[in-house]
Structure 1
Amino acid sequence: MTDSEARRSSALAPVARVDVLGVNVSIVTVDDLVSFVDSAVAGSFPVVIAAHNLHSVYLARTDSEFARFYQGSDVVVVDGWPVLAGLNRARAASGLAPLPSSHRFGSTDWIDRATALAAVRRVAVIGASSESSSAFVARLLSSPDAPEVLAIPGHPWSADRAAEAVERVSSFEPDLVLVGMGMPLQEQVVTGLIGHLDRGVIATVGGAIDQLSGTQSLAPRWTGRLGVEWLWRLASDPRRLARRYLVEPVQLALVIAKERRAR
């Protein structure tokens, strides 16, 4: 039995996973995820929350180490309209009703609620620039019942910084760890960290630290419900995101087609 399977067979109720686009995801809403965090914080082992969008699906289909990280995560949120669309196509083929847009959400949709939980008293934040990290921490501390926060900016990052982060976070004994860095770096950071924690929730949150801090523009939430958040983000930062949104989907389609021909 793997470490992940051992965790899922524990007292903490497992979250159902289903296959889509060659990866597997969890069927959860924001309410479900926040409830999971609330329960998992009180556990005696660390759990991992990840999220799949089309970018991570492409990486999982082309990088075996990256794929293993997602296979071993306890919850994998649907964080991308194409992933939800693929899931609903599979459900339709099986005669099941489509899932509503509430089953697709990003880290910015649940972080505020999770950090406000009474059970979450210590939060570690890894990633983003010093400016963005400081602004995000200030935002967390503005709450009357704010948790204690440990912040470790992600720029610049190195092997020495990674080792320092592991030492500082493990000594801090956090209830919740938010790791917001680019893929696959954030997954590598979590992999290096999880063996040094006895409990708590560790979540990969991508650019959520930058977005909630105000350093990056946060897409209006209605764009996610309509499946056009990617278009809003592309228009906001075309140089950084053009390859992800315009090239990688084609590459992923080619990978899937090649695998099907080989069967």
Structure 2
Amino acid sequence: MTAPRRADADDDGIATDAPSSRRTHICGVPVDALTMEESVNAACALIRTGQPHQHVAINAAKVIAARHDPHLRQVLESCAIANADGQSVVWASRLLGSRVPERVTGIDFMLRMWEVAAERGFRVYLLGSKPETVRRTADVARSQGVDIVGARNGFWTPEGEASVVAEVAAARPDLLFVGLPTPRKEEFLHRHLGELRAGLAVGVGGSFDVVAGVVSRAPLWMQKSGLEWLHRMAQEPRRLLGRYVLGNVEFVFLVAREAVTSRRPPTE
């Protein structure tokens, strides 16, 4: 696999600190202290290097998953950009003294990068979700001036994975958005990053469902108050009840324990 490279400025001369220099950790999981625009500038700089890079969005559920899965934690650490997707992660960073400036959700980052792609002529590939959903998402992106060079659903067998990777690579996208669940998308991208030949590969979970109108997004006030998870759970209670209720309790416990430990004076 080709090792990720860092960049200090994009083509327009916009200075961008390498995300690794802005990196902090929440309960052992990496999070970059970047705003949306800083993330976009860093993404453009990475794309222009001509080397493959992986982006990840960190929320409370992913922190918990990584705590139970050391390999997933290694995958997250290897990502070139790790944004705070959940408001709870932003709050936790401030409690722990890291102060991540703002929430940068996977879907908001994707939509902002679509704008940049339309402006700069970046080639975009969409991978994941159901066939009709990804098709409708591609139509929405094209209507916004995005050059969609490929769109494929997220259903394939282990035996067929190599052909999926080859299909994406043949399109040579600058941006690859992958709408698969955690940890499947993170591990797929990590496993094939060099072969996919995408400048920046971004895992976006269920974002295609929102863009295609299959599910609705929470009102802005719920997003800002950290209650978007409640809106999502109301739409898919059977699938998300355990993840959010139990996961949020565990996340609060982990953050509280880390806060206490970090304030405890060292023993001689």
Does TM, normalized by the shorter one, top 0.5?
yes
Q: Which residue of 2 aligns with 1:235?
A: 234
Q: 1:90 to 1:79 in 2, by over 3 A?
A: same
Equivalent AA in structure 1 for residue 104 of structure 2:
F
Equivalent AA in structure 2 for residue 148 of structure 1:
I
CA shift, 1:213, in A, is: 1.2
Q: Which residue of 1 aligns with 2:45?
A: 39
Q: Name the CA distance, whole Å, in 1 between partners of 2:133 and 2:195.
A: 26
2:226 matches 1:220:
no
Give SS of 1:38's match.
Answer: helix
Q: Name the CA distance, whole Å, in 1 between partners of 2:228 and 2:176.
A: 26
Q: Which residue of 1 aligns with 2:131?
A: 130
Q: Which residue of 2 aligns with 1:147?
A: 147
Equivalent AA in structure 1 for residue 60 of structure 2:
L
Q: Name the CA distance, whole Å, in 2 between partners of 1:246 and 1:146.
A: 38
Q: Is the 8 A contact 2:24 2:32 kept in 1?
A: yes
Equivalent AA in structure 1 for residue 219 of structure 2:
P
Give SS of 1:195's match.
Answer: helix
Q: Which residue of 1 aligns with 2:27?
A: 21
Q: 1:162 to 1:221 in 2, by over 3 A?
A: farther
Q: Is the 8 A contact 1:212 1:218 kept in 2?
A: no
Q: Name the CA distance, whole Å, in 1 between partners of 2:115 and 2:46.
A: 15
Equivalent AA in structure 1 for residue 18 of structure 2:
P
CA shift, 1:197, in A, is: 4.2
2:62 matches 1:56:
yes
Q: Name the CA distance, whole Å, in 1 between partners of 2:32 and 2:234.
A: 29
Q: Is the 8 A contact 2:127 2:178 kept in 1?
A: yes
Equivalent runs, 1:62-73 vs 2, <5 Å:
62-73=68-79
Q: 1:237 to 1:199 in 2, by over 3 A?
A: closer
Give SS of 1:3's match.
Answer: coil
Q: 1:170 to 1:99 in 2, by over 3 A?
A: closer
2:127 matches 1:113:
no
Q: Name the CA distance, whole Å, in 2 between partners of 1:214 and 1:141.
A: 16
Equivalent AA in structure 1 for residue 94 of structure 2:
N
Q: Name the CA distance, whole Å, in 1 between partners of 2:251 and 2:52.
A: 32
Equivalent AA in structure 1 for residue 41 of structure 2:
S
Q: Is the 8 A contact 1:114 1:120 kept in 2?
A: no
Percent identical pairs in the alignment equals 28
- In structure 2, stretches of 5+ residues that fail to align are 10-16, 262-268
- Cα deviation, 1:216-237, whole Å, max 9, x if unaligned, reads 2122233221111111212222
Q: Name the CA distance, whole Å, in 1 between partners of 2:161 and 2:197.
A: 18
Q: Is the 8 A contact 1:132 1:215 kept in 2?
A: yes
Q: Which moved more, 1:247-256 or 1:133-142?
A: 247-256
Equivalent AA in structure 1 for residue 131 of structure 2:
S
Q: Is the 8 A contact 1:176 1:200 kept in 2?
A: yes
CA shift, 1:194, in A, is: 0.6
Q: Is the 8 A contact 1:41 1:119 kept in 2?
A: no
Give SS of 1:148's match.
Answer: strand
Q: Which residue of 2 aligns with 1:162?
A: 161
2:183 matches 1:184:
yes
Q: Name the CA distance, whole Å, in 2 between partners of 1:90 and 1:3.
A: 31
Q: Is the 8 A contact 1:125 1:151 kept in 2?
A: yes
Q: Is the 8 A contact 2:175 2:198 kept in 1?
A: no
Q: Name the CA distance, whole Å, in 1 between partners of 2:179 and 2:59.
A: 15
Q: Which moved more, 1:216-225 or 1:46-55?
A: 216-225
- In structure 1, stretches of 5+ residues that fail to align are none
Q: Name the CA distance, whole Å, in 2 between partners of 1:28 and 1:85.
A: 14
Q: 1:20 to 1:162 in 2, by over 3 A?
A: same
Q: Among 61, 78, 88, which residue is 2:84 paired with?
A: 78
Q: Which moved more, 1:197-206 or 1:68-77?
A: 197-206
Q: 1:43 to 1:221 in 2, by over 3 A?
A: farther
